[in-house]
Structure 1
Amino acid sequence: MDERVRRTVETYERVADTYADLHGDRDVVADIVERFVTAVDEASDTDADSPPRVLDVGCGPGWESAAFAEAGFDPVSFDLTLSFLDQTRERVPGATVVRGDMRALPFADDGFDGLWACASLLHVPEAEVPATLDDFERVLRDGGVVLVSLKRSDAPVDRDRESPYDADERHFERYDPETVTELFTDAGFTVRDVDAEGGWVAVCAVA
């Protein structure tokens, strides 16, 4: 495992409970959750016998997996941090929970109607992002929807602000909207929209 990824996972394992306490207010992502749910609903086969199947990549404590279940989707919660997956099992009893690395998704081709990656792809080293997005595209059916949120490269960074976690060794990458658009286009996606508000870049695209 890449050293940067290893340190990130070790940090999350150590601070999982504190992280869940600090970030439990999901109003901050309510708008993009709604965008994703609406896009998946619009792209899904209304005559299908089963609900839309969505992959929550880097699910963390399972907040959005719960939201997708409430929206009538069939969520698959995916993370490399065992402590987060334990929290997800408690929060979303009906969800399928899978441990793994987003750089090599252990799923069949064309298996999902939607893929959500909120503040998770940003932990992948930049050189490995194109291949990771290729894998995102692979597991989505034609017309499937992806929504990814990343830190903006031009957002102010408070270097003096102390981390709320002891020995915080997480790795982050930052992106501008143009670079994100190019990365998704190169991976075979059609970009629907890019929102660069409040220090984040959120891209919604179609496979």
Structure 2
Amino acid sequence: MTEPDFLATTRAFYDAIATDYADRFRGALDTMPTDRAVLGLFAELVRAERPEAKVAELGCGPGWVAGHLHGLGLDACGIDLSPRMVELARAERPEVPFGVGSLLDLPFRDGELTGAVAWYSIIHTPAERLPEVFAEFARVLAPGGRLLLAFQVGDEPLRLEEPFGRPVSLDFRRLRPERVEELARAAGLPVTSRTVREPEGEEKVPQAYLLARKPAA
């Protein structure tokens, strides 16, 4: 099967900027109390569903969120489209397993995960392909499993040209919480919590965090 162009473009972008990105944003989660609180809620809900829960960060970049979840006591792993990002994640978090994978074809068995986190990772998928991504989320989650999504709020995409001086560019698609909730519900993952906070620091737009749950059997 021929790979969609947007996957190749996204992979090339993140392979090119991986080291610069990791150096620039390392430790950023330490300064984001809302983000940590949302991740803590997710971890508590997942543990309540299954104490020995397996969770995955889908689109993990350098693996900071997966590492944070591991630190909260979860059996966490991560996948990313960029081999270079995965290489950095393995080096920074050797205690957490990381692998290369796509949101369109997740490397997990049906119902293998009790929790999944897509932390600013659905933003590079064209709108017409998002239902496929959410169908994959639903497939890999066990009954009662939790999905956490984070994304920028808005209608107009942000295009980054030559970040860190690298000769690459990519669109970052902002999304409306209502639309993401529709996608989750259509995939059989009704949203149980929605949080939107105002921009902080260098952010330009509000940030959204949605929690969804696959109905128990």
TM-score (norm 1): 0.88
Task: Return the structure number with greater relative CO, CA threshold 8 A, min gap 6.
Answer: 1
Moved over 6 A (4+): 159-162
Residue 172 of structure 2 is matched in structure 1 by 172
For residue 4 of structure 1, what is the amino acid of its counterpart? F
In the alignment, residue 18 of structure 2 is paired with which amino acid? Answer: A
User: Higher mean Cα deviation, 38-47 or 92-101?
Assistant: 38-47
Residue 102 of structure 2 is aligned to residue 95 of structure 1: no
Q: CA deviation at 1:30?
A: 4.2
Is this contact kept in 2: 1:76–1:97, CA < 8 A?
yes
Aligned to 2:22: 20
Q: What RMSD, in angstroms, separates the aligned Cα atoms of the two structures?
A: 2.4
The structure-2 alpha-carbon separation of the partners of 1:114 and 1:165, relative to structure 1 and needing over 3 Å to count, comes to farther
> Is 1:152 the equivalent of 2:153?
yes
The equivalent residue for 1:53 is 54
| Superposed CA offset, 1:13-58 (max 9, x none) | 111110111222224554234323323323435775xx32111111
Among candidates 28, 31, 41, match of residue 44 of structure 2: 41
Aligned to 1:206: 213
Q: Which sits farther off after the overlay, 35-44 or 187-196? A: 35-44
In the alignment, what sits opposite 2:132? 131
Q: Secondary structure at the match of 2:56?
A: strand
On the 8 A contact 1:57/1:78 being kept in 2, the answer is yes
Following superposition of structure 1 onto structure 2, how do residues 60-79 of structure 1 map, counting pairs within 5 Å? 60-79=61-80
Corresponding pairs, count: 204
Unaligned 5+ runs, structure 2:
200-204
Which runs of 5 or more structure 1 residues have no equivalent in the other structure? none
- Contact 1:111 1:141 (8 Å CA) reproduced: yes
SS in 1 for 2:104: helix
Which amino acid is the alignment partner of residue 102 of structure 1?
L
